[in-house]
Amino acid sequence: MKHILLGLVAAALSTGPALAQSLELEKDELTFGFIKLTDMAPLAVAYENGYFLDEGLFVTLEAQANWKVLLDGVIGGQLDGAHMLAGQPLAATIGYGTQAHIITPFSMDLNGNGITVSNEVWEMMKPNIPTMDDGRPQHPISAEALAPVVESFNAKGEPFNMGMVFPVSTHNYELRYWLAAGGLHPGYYSPENISGQIGADVFLSVTPPPQMPATLEAGTIHGYCVGEPWNQQAVFKGIGVPVITDYQLWKNNPEKVFGITAEFAEQYPNTTLAITKALIRAAIWLDENDNANRPAAVEILSQPEYVGADYDVIANSMTGFFEFEKGDKRDIPDFNVFFRYNATYPFYSDAIWYLTQMRRWGQIDEAKDDQWFHDVAKDVYKPEIYLAAARLLVDEGLANEADFPWDSDGYKAATPAEDIIDGIPYDGRSPNAYLDSLPIGLKGGQTVVGSEVRG
């Protein structure tokens, strides 16, 4: 496949509009899956604005029941591609859970998640949270404010339960990151125990995104990490309070990707380019003119076949604001980013962050050298396809040359300490040094055996 992709890149970079107009699609009828979250927006926009049709693609979009069903659909060929958790292609490729070589030529967005707690837990946290001059809570809120609450539950013999959407989801890793930064242990995985609750202070379990508010209201969980609109839904329903967004946790962190099998990309290279072109155009539209198109995007997403939540619920985060408590609406213009800051470019360093978190919590149970992390990232993330598609769009006058990182080596500059809640910088070029810098989590040759860490 590598030689085919390199050929595509060379052709796209050296040929002008004539090639763009003469792409011969190997497959033009496609079915893509998604989960009902606002960050599936590039798929909906590419469909509704006709960008898929402009590429000669006849696309059907199908909502999926959960992330496992979605992944299985792509692997089994019922779906040609899908809106995926960034950890899914990586986990599948290294054989954690299901074994399959999944790649991504397109990152769907930055940020977009939040952590919400029940009203009861919020009232217990509030005395531990500094306030601003106007009496509102000071953000970002550290999990240190949650620690006494967890201790009080434990003193009563009650487990403190929180929900996340999938074991290899950004939400799982972000929730774990927030808890660990506040001194709370979210638990380890081991080959023998895949609950992720070994040694945990807070017990995390899987709940599908649209079911989060109802599960919180039922008292099964005391909080959760999820994408929008399911944090804002808790505010509108009056059943919970978001305590932090992932933008406040780690500024401009990577989120979902568009995933296809490596076999699909190899068998249908022109179709893969055409899909990527349409998705890039959708991302540009979503962010252009300082988010001027976001109200129209919210109208699309509020339709039942897409996210299906009320317009006002989706608009709360998609139009540059985020409401924490009722009436406490704050400006977070970059809560959802679809194109700015090279959001759609599949950076190797983004992939490596996910791999470090898999290693940190024991999903990767043995030590790996730095080269292993780099090799896996390059096996899954495909910036060469992305740039080939971008070149075609520029040549067609549909995108601006200056908007793409043509000379990137695939690695972002290190994320500075001030952009991450625990003040620990992240550099994707040095994954093991990064793991060693994190106070809680596996590092070096450590492994989880039974209920203890060894090594």
Average pLDDT over residues 168-180: 98
Sorting pLDDT into bands at 50, 70 and 90, what band is 197? very high
Q: What is the pLDDT of residue 388?
A: 98
Nearest-CA neighbor of 150 among 51, 245, 222? 222
Cis? peptide before 140, omega within 30° of 0: yes
Range from 17-31, 70-84, 189-203, 274-288 carrying the lowest mean pLDDT: 17-31
Residue 11, pLDDT above cutoff 80: no
Residue 111, pLDDT above cutoff 60: yes
Sorting pLDDT into bands at 50, 70 and 90, what band is 20? very low
Q: What is the pLDDT of residue 8?
A: 55
Q: What is the pLDDT of residue 61?
A: 98
Side chain identity at 127, as an amino acid letter? P
Residue 348, pLDDT above cutoff 60: yes
Residue 102, pLDDT above cutoff 80: yes
pLDDT tens digit sequence for 229-258: 999 999 999 999 999 999 999 999 999 999
C-alpha triplet 112, 118, 119: angle, nearest 5°: 120
pLDDT tens digit sequence for 254-264: 999 999 999 99
Cβ atoms < 10 Å from Cβ of 366: 12
pLDDT tens digit sequence for 137-169: 999 999 999 999 999 999 999 999 999 999 999
Sorting pLDDT into bands at 50, 70 and 90, what band is 4? very low
C-alpha triplet 49, 53, 58: angle, nearest 5°: 120
Q: What is the pLDDT of residue 23?
A: 84
pLDDT tens digit sequence for 113-143: 999 999 999 999 999 999 999 999 999 999 9
Residue 361, pLDDT above cutoff 70: yes
Strand partners, 330: 322
pLDDT tens digit sequence for 38-77: 999 999 999 999 999 999 999 999 999 999 999 999 999 9
Average pLDDT over residues 180-193: 97
Tokens of 8: 């595509």
Strand partners, 223: 117
Higher pLDDT, 133 or 1: 133
pLDDT tens digit sequence for 302-337: 999 999 999 999 999 999 899 999 999 999 999 999
In the chain the domains, ranked by start, together with CATH numbers, are: 2-110+255-346+381-403 (3.40.190.10), 113-252 (3.40.190.10)
Sorting pLDDT into bands at 50, 70 and 90, what band is 3? very low
pLDDT tens digit sequence for 200-229: 999 999 999 999 999 999 999 999 999 999
Average pLDDT over residues 4-31: 62
What rounded mean pLDDT belongs to the chain? Answer: 94
Sorting pLDDT into bands at 50, 70 and 90, what band is 18? very low
Q: Integer distance in angstroms from the first to the last C-alpha of the chain?
A: 39
pLDDT tens digit sequence for 390-402: 999 999 999 999 9
Q: What is the pLDDT of residue 84?
A: 98
Sorting pLDDT into bands at 50, 70 and 90, what band is 22? low
CA 86 to chain CA mean position, Å? 5
